[in-house]
Amino acid sequence: MKKHNFSAGPCILPQEVMKKASEAVIELDGIGLSLIEISHRSKEFIGIMENARSLVLELMGLEGKGYQALFLQGGASTEFLMTAYNLLEKKAGYTNTGAWSAKAIKEAKLFGEVIELASSADKNFNYIPKGYAIPTDLDYLHITSNNTIFGTQIKKFPKTNVPLVCDMSSDIFSRQLDFSQFDLIYAGAQKNMGPAGTTLVVIKEDILGKVSRQIPSMLDYKVHIGKDSMFNTPPVFPIYVSMLTLQWLKDLGGIAAIEKINDKKARLIYSEVELNPLFKGFAAVEDRSNMNATFTLTDDALKDSFEAMCKEAGINGVNGHRSVGGYRASMYNALPLESVGTLVDVMSELERTA
Ligand SMILES: *Cc1c(COP(=O)(O)O)cnc(C)c1O
């Protein structure tokens, strides 16, 4: 039986996408060949790449606005250094809102001055800092829209005239935003789009070409744009699956439609966390994430029974990250509302029987 999959990443993908993807590994669209044995320069794969890239811009409402979508490799972790390599000439501003932003800061420091404009480290990253000043002479401001480990999410993005770079790995395509407020968005595929192995980069072309250093070709966004995201052999399978997921999202009604479902899932879990005296939310209420809900038991003695009940109900992947403890329910786009319902039933059952 298929489990209720709350895994934080890699994570659940739509069932129909996985079915189509598995079929394409045997034979792609009746062409007598597998997706993974054809040239990336074949007309079939070029079609897949073009479709994936244009679906990204279409879903984000960025068509004709000077943006390019790239499917790269090396994960979001490579973007930590690549963004700085391509954009950091003198100094950049970063907000430190969790483990991933701390890693981004560490990499950027190899390329120039990094100013930490705000941090929530004082409370183990359980909130989003607000109201910090943004110098106007920065090369860019880097933020993390959703802090996967801690379960916090930016609801209102900073207004600034400097280029805005956003690590959107764990909430991309989950809610409607004015995506044109960002100049560069990156996201590892494995949280809301596809299997691990490709990284989506959406970039406003006119922010490039402003640093004086030489950039190695593989790390140069301009090179990848010039080659239509095919500078070298792209990871064909994760890109194909990402394309199928983006198509699934479009058929569902796009980001507006998924946002409604995501809101319902989040309301369901958080209302249980609030009403059930056995549980306590980790993140500040106004900043809590619609993708990753973090919470703990108020009585540690109930740990074994709660976890046994989860297992019995077919619930997978709710253990919290070691730096937070407790539990984390990741509710990415493909997670059905019923799965959250099952988890909430287990939580209220625990209250009845404890
Ligand atoms: C998972 C994650 C990363 C790391 O992604 P990789 O693809 O493993 O390098 C970076 N940032 C955020 C916000 C994440 O959730």
Give the end of a domain, one of 252, 274, 294.
252
Q: Is residue 7 part of a domain?
A: no
Give the end of a domain, one of 191, 220, 252.
252
Asked if residues 111 and 91 have their Cβ atoms less than 8 Å apart, the reply is no
Range of the domain at 212: 15-252
Give the end of a domain, one of 207, 230, 252.
252
Residue 313 C-alpha to ligand 1 middle, in angstroms? 29
* 3-class DSSP assignment, residue 347: helix
- Predicted confidence (pLDDT) per residue in 267-295, tens digit: 999 999 999 999 999 999 999 999 999 99
Q: Is residue 170 part of a domain?
A: yes
Averaged over 311-322, what is the pLDDT? 96
What whole-number percentage of the chain has pLDDT above 90? Answer: 99
Residue 98 C-alpha to ligand 1 middle, in angstroms? 11
Q: Say yes or no: 179 and 264 in one domain.
A: no
Asked if residues 124 and 77 have their Cβ atoms less than 8 Å apart, the reply is no
Write down the H helix ranges in the chain. Answer: 15-26, 43-60, 75-87, 99-108, 221-226, 236-252, 254-275, 303-312, 337-353
Q: Say yes or no: 145 and 108 in one domain.
A: yes
HSE, CB side, 13 Å, CA atoms: give it for residue 69: 25
**Is residue 191 annotated as part of the catalytic site, yes or no?**
yes
Q: Ligand 1 within 6 A of 73 CB?
A: no
Q: Is residue 276 part of a domain?
A: yes
Q: Ligand 1 within 6 A of 68 CB?
A: no
d(CA 269, CA 165): 30
Q: Say yes or no: 327 and 242 in one domain.
A: no
Q: Is residue 78 part of a domain?
A: yes
Q: What is the pLDDT of residue 1?
A: 80
Q: What is the pLDDT of residue 81?
A: 98
Q: Say yes or no: 261 and 242 in one domain.
A: no
* 3-class DSSP assignment, residue 78: helix
**Is residue 100 annotated as part of the catalytic site, yes or no?**
yes
Q: Say yes or no: 120 and 20 in one domain.
A: yes
Q: Say yes or no: 209 and 347 in one domain.
A: no
Asked if residue 88 has pLDDT above 90, the reply is yes
Q: Ligand 1 within 6 A of 148 CB?
A: yes
**Is residue 159 annotated as part of the catalytic site, yes or no?**
no
Q: Is 298 exposed, middle or buried (0-12, 13-18, 19+ CB in 10 A)?
A: exposed
d(CA 265, CA 255): 15
Asked if residues 149 and 10 have their Cβ atoms less than 8 Å apart, the reply is no
Q: Is residue 284 part of a domain?
A: yes
Q: Say yes or no: 244 and 232 in one domain.
A: yes
- Paired tokens of 195: 């299997």
Averaged over 233-248, what is the pLDDT? 98
Q: Is residue 3 part of a domain?
A: no
Q: Which residues pair with 279 in a beta bridge?
A: 297
- Paired tokens of 276: 């059930």
What CATH number is given to the structural domain containing 340? 3.90.1150.10
Q: Say yes or no: 150 and 207 in one domain.
A: yes
Integer angstrom CA distances of residue 29 from 24, 51, 125, 244, 325: 7, 15, 47, 13, 45
Q: Is residue 1 part of a domain?
A: no
Catalytic annotation, pick one of 139, 167, 183, 287 = 167
If one counts the domains in the chain, the total is 2
HSE, CB side, 13 Å, CA atoms: give it for residue 96: 16
Please name which of 44, 148, 140, 47 lies closest in space to residue 95, comparing C-alpha atoms.
140
Q: Say yes or no: 294 and 325 in one domain.
A: yes
Q: Say yes or no: 213 and 273 in one domain.
A: no
d(CA 333, CA 42): 31
Q: Ligand 1 within 6 A of 169 CB?
A: yes
Give the count of beta carbons closer than 10 Å to the beta carbon of residue 161: 9
Nearest CA to ligand 1 atom 5: 76
- Predicted confidence (pLDDT) per residue in 208-224, tens digit: 999 999 999 999 999 99
Confidence at 69, pLDDT banded by 50, 70, 90: very high
Asked if residue 354 has pLDDT above 90, the reply is no
- Paired tokens of 20: 């189509």
Q: Ligand 1 within 6 A of 95 CB?
A: no
pTM score of the predicted model:
0.98
Q: Is residue 338 part of a domain?
A: yes
Q: Say yes or no: 104 and 135 in one domain.
A: yes
Mutate which of 11, 71, 77 to test ligand 1's pocket (most atoms within 8 Å of Cβ)? 77
Peptide bond into 10 cis (omega under 30): yes
What CATH number is given to the structural domain containing 121? 3.40.640.10
Q: Say yes or no: 330 and 216 in one domain.
A: no
